[in-house]
Amino acid sequence: MKIELVTKAYEAMKHSYSPYSGFRVGAALLTKDSKIYTGCNIENSAFSPTCCAERTAFFKAVSEGEKDFKAIAIVGGKGGEITDFCYPCGVCRQVMAEFCDGDFEIITTDAKEIKSHTLKELLPESFKI
Ligand SMILES: [Zn+2]
């Protein structure tokens, strides 16, 4: 499952629109009923409308009625070259906390090794109403 998700994240990264940073990111989000939604980062010249790959995947899935998620794979690097682990930013971690339990799995790779963490590890004591 991890390899398939990472592979889908690599494929999604090909669609990255990142002319400003050159940092290309792809994500593949797995629902609890085994559907996969992908996303890439989409930058904007005004910067604040920029959306991360992870949120793109989440918003695609939620907009199609999905609410139950199991895992997400994230890959990213300058020019699309993966040389280090790519972790979700704080905003994306908060979006994950909106829809996922603490045991939601976050998978990333440096192209040599695959690491996985739980959401609770990456965002302890998250904000919830
Ligand atoms: Zn983000």
pLDDT digits (tens, 9 = 90+) for 24-48: 999 999 999 999 999 999 999 999 9
Neighbours of 88 (CB within 10 A): 25
E strands along 11-125, which residues? Answer: 23-31, 36-40, 69-78, 105-109, 114-118
Sequence-ordered alpha helix ranges (H) in 79-123 = 90-99, 119-122
- Ligand 1 centre distance from Cα of residue 53 (Å): 7
Taking the chain (129 residues) in runs of 10, the rounded mean pLDDT of each run is: 96 98 98 98 97 98 98 98 97 97 98 97 92
Active site residues: 54
- Ligand 1 centre distance from Cα of residue 88 (Å): 5
- Ligand 1 centre distance from Cα of residue 62 (Å): 16
Question: What is the pTM for the complete model shown?
Answer: 0.96
- Ligand 1 centre distance from Cα of residue 87 (Å): 8
Residues with CB under 5 A from ligand 1 (ion): 52, 89, 92
Quick one: fold of 2-122?
A: Cytidine Deaminase; domain 2 (3.40.140)
d(CA 96, CA 116): 15
Q: What is the DSSP letter of 42?
A: B
